[in-house]
């Protein structure tokens, strides 16, 4: 069959937006910048009001969140990325607290409306299929539920397989724009991050299936895994750090129970190398976030090892990962999806890893969380906790045992104060727990 698609301009395509509409933007590297620009030009001309914008983390500019558009656009994001952090903290934009696994359900259940989905796709193949490329996440659900779907066809969007493949019949309007995708580059791990990476890598067994978040610590962990065998990937995202391990054959997915031999992810964030790697690669499945982040799907693989970071941890093992006090910094994301999934997996390990101090030297381990801080991973969910000073297993430990173990991997300069706080909280017998320094 021959699928004829007609292209229009970005300016023409966004004329479908009307006052009160809810707009979904595809995320991370796939944010459709030409449509965003055209939409904001209409907003600046005051052609509509009260348009709600939804997305996960996006790379690149986010002009609709600017205070000048108050009353015209309202950003209600599912994750607070760096490009909208200040406007969210100042109240011009807002955040919907939600597990990453359930972002798709917001649309599919109707809890959040989707009038217009603005996405970016690869060029159509001979069968009439395009690919969502680097971001499936909640975008597939938006495509399924939106009244109107506008797709930017971009030659730089990789042709990724899995749930990323959608038929052109699902799309109402096409715009051509070959602007290269936004790239994310990560700094080389410093000494602290390398030490954390070594402690985490020591916990990873051959045959493990890995999930890691974003940034320097995951890259530091991956850099330590060259001697491992038969690792698999089932994650919400991956970046450049996995590529050398795939080339060496360390990551091959042979030990996975489901999606054997395949790397499974829902979005990507990295350099052009990563985008090239997934292009036409049957070894990578880009899947709906309702699949990648479902704890019960995650747990089907054995030895799932999930490594996530934190902003602050208290002496009972409560993990704050979304906010600095009352100021939202990021979001719930997929941390609890994978912490819980890994803990249900046979031989699985859920790891929270972070530097023991901030860049300013303030202890990130605190007697109690900063007032207003959000608990993302509860004290009931935490298992392994890692800093540059060691790794401790908190699972099955009492509050007093936990406090001793957590203090043992705190920065030495903070240990006395933390010990005093634990003493005040738990009493004199806190000091007599045996074996608390075991790592």
Instruction: Evaluate the CA torsion angle 129, 132, 136, 140 in order and state its sign.
Output: negative
Instruction: Evaluate the CA torsion angle 275, 276, 277, 280 in order and state its sign.
Output: positive
When pLDDT is cut at 50, 70 and 90, the band that residue 5 belongs to is confident
Tokens of 211: 């999930």
| 434 contact partners, CB below 8 Å, separation of at least 6 | none
Whether the per-residue pLDDT at 285 is higher than 50: the answer is yes
- H or E segment and range at residue 275: helix 272-278
When pLDDT is cut at 50, 70 and 90, the band that residue 439 belongs to is very low
Whether the per-residue pLDDT at 3 is higher than 70: the answer is no
Whether the per-residue pLDDT at 431 is higher than 60: the answer is no
When pLDDT is cut at 50, 70 and 90, the band that residue 434 belongs to is very low
Q: How many CB atoms lie within 10 A of CB 53?
A: 23
Pairing relation of β-strands 94-95 and 148-153? Answer: unpaired
Q: Read off the pLDDT of residues 287-308 as tens digits, 9 standing for 90 and up.
A: 999 999 999 999 999 999 999 9
Q: Note whether 266 and 136 are within 8 A (CB).
A: yes
Instruction: Evaluate the CA torsion angle 225, 216, 274, 301 in order and state its sign.
Output: positive
Quick one: pLDDT at residue 438? 37
What proportion of the chain, given as a percentage, has pLDDT over 70?
97
Tokens of 187: 């700094």
When pLDDT is cut at 50, 70 and 90, the band that residue 89 belongs to is very high
Q: Read off the pLDDT of residues 313-353 as tens digits, 9 standing for 90 and up.
A: 999 999 999 999 999 999 999 999 999 999 999 999 999 99
The mean per-residue pLDDT over the stretch 243-265 comes to 98
Quick one: pLDDT at residue 435? 44
The C-alpha atoms of residue 357 and residue 286 are separated, in whole angstroms, by 36
Tokens of 61: 């500019």
C-alpha to C-alpha distances, 244 to 38, 232, 337, nearest whole angstrom? 39, 14, 27
SS3 416: helix
Q: How many CB atoms lie within 10 A of CB 70?
A: 12
The mean per-residue pLDDT over the stretch 108-114 comes to 98
Quick one: pLDDT at residue 279? 98
Q: Is 236 a catalytic residue?
A: yes
The C-alpha atoms of residue 293 and residue 138 are separated, in whole angstroms, by 11
Which of 59, 102, 193, 236 is the catalytic position?
236
The mean per-residue pLDDT over the stretch 249-255 comes to 98
Q: Read off the pLDDT of residues 157-208 as tens digits, 9 standing for 90 and up.
A: 999 999 999 999 999 999 999 999 999 988 899 999 999 999 999 999 999 9
When pLDDT is cut at 50, 70 and 90, the band that residue 4 belongs to is confident
Average pLDDT of every residue of the chain: 95
Q: How many CB atoms lie within 10 A of CB 123?
A: 13
408 exposed, middle or buried (CB, 10 Å; 0-12, 13-18, 19+)? middle
First vs last Cα of the chain: how many Å apart?
A: 63
């Amino acid at each position: 069959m021959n699928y004829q698609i007609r292209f229009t301009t970005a300016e023409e395509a966004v004329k479908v937006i009307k006052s009160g509409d809810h707009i979904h933007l595809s995320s991370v590297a796939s944010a459709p910048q030409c449509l965003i620009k055209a939409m904001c030009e209409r907003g600046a001309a005051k052609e509509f009001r009260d348009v709600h914008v939804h997305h996960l983390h996006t790379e690149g500019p986010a002009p609709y969140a600017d205070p000048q558009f108050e009353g015209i656009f309202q950003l209600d994001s599912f994750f607070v990325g760096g490009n909208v952090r200040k406007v969210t903290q100042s109240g011009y934009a807002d955040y919907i607290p939600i597990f990453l696994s359930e972002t798709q359900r917001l649309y599919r259940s109707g809890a959040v409306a989707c009038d217009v989905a603005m996405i970016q796709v690869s060029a159509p193949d001979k069968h009439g299929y395009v690919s969502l490329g680097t971001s499936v996440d909640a975008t597939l659900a938006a495509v399924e539920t939106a009244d109107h779907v506008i797709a930017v066809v971009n030659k730089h969007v990789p042709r990724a397989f899995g749930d990323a493949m959608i038929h052109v019949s699902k799309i109402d309007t096409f715009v051509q724009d070959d602007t290269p995708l936004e790239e994310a580059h990560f700094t080389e791990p410093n000494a602290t991050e390398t030490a954390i990476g070594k402690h985490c890598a020591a916990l990873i067994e051959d045959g493990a299936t890995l999930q890691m978040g974003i940034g320097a610590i995951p890259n530091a962990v991956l850099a330590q895994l060259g001697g491992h065998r038969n690792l698999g990937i089932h994650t919400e995202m991956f970046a450049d750090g996995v590529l050398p391990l795939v080339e060496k054959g360390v990551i091959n997915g042979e030990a996975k129970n489901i999606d054997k031999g395949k790397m499974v992810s829902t979005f990507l964030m990295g350099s052009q190398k990563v985008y090239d790697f997934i292009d036409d690669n049957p070894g990578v499945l880009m899947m709906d976030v309702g699949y990648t982040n479902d704890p019960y799907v995650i747990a089907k693989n054995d030895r799932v090892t999930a490594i996530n970071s934190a902003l602050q941890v208290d002496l009972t093992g409560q993990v704050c990962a979304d906010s600095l006090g009352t100021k939202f910094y990021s979001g719930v994301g997929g941390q609890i999806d994978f912490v819980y999934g890994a803990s249900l997996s046979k031989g699985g390990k859920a790891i929270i890893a972070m530097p023991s101090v901030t860049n300013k030297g303030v202890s990130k381990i605190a007697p109690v969380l900063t007032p207003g801080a959000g608990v993302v991973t509860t004290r009931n969910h935490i298992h392994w906790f890692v800093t540059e000073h060691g790794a401790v297993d908190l699972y099955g430990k009492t509050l007093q045992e936990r406090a001793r173990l957590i203090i043992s991997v705190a920065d030495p300069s903070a240990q006395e104060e933390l010990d005093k706080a634990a003493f005040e909280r738990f009493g004199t017998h806190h000091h007599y727990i045996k074996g608390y320094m075991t790592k």
